């Protein structure tokens, strides 16, 4: 699945968040979407910041995707 628009990046981020943390998580909110490269980095793609709640708390994830739709990196940046 190629990612060419912000909407496609948001949909892929929602899907990956549910795959990483399980289908029981609540609604995934998209906080920010940026197109890479950022700050003259050599990589290209999408940087997406998401948040969601489940029974254990509130989570914030940072996901990086290539333009071909592959998940390059996921990092939990906050948990309450």
pTM of the model: 0.83
Q: What is the pLDDT of residue 41?
A: 63
Q: What are 7-62's pLDDT values in tens digits? A: 999 999 999 999 988 878 888 999 999 987 755 666 788 999 999 988 888 999 99
Q: What is the pLDDT of residue 28?
A: 92
- The number of helices, as runs of H, and strands, as runs of E, in the chain is 1, 4
Q: What is the pLDDT of residue 61?
A: 93
Q: What residues contact 75, with CB distance under 8 A and at least 6 apart?
A: 61, 62, 63
Domain boundaries of the chain, sorted by first residue: 6-79
């Amino acid at each position: 699945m190629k990612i060419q628009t912000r909407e496609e990046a948001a949909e892929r981020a929602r899907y990956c968040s549910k795959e990483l943390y399980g289908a029981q998580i609540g609604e995934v909110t998209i906080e920010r979407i940026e197109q890479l490269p950022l700050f003259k980095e050599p990589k290209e793609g999408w940087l997406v910041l998401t948040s969601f709640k489940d029974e254990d708390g509130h989570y914030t994830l940072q996901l990086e995707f290539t333009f071909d739709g592959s998940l390059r990196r996921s990092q939990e940046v906050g948990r309450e």
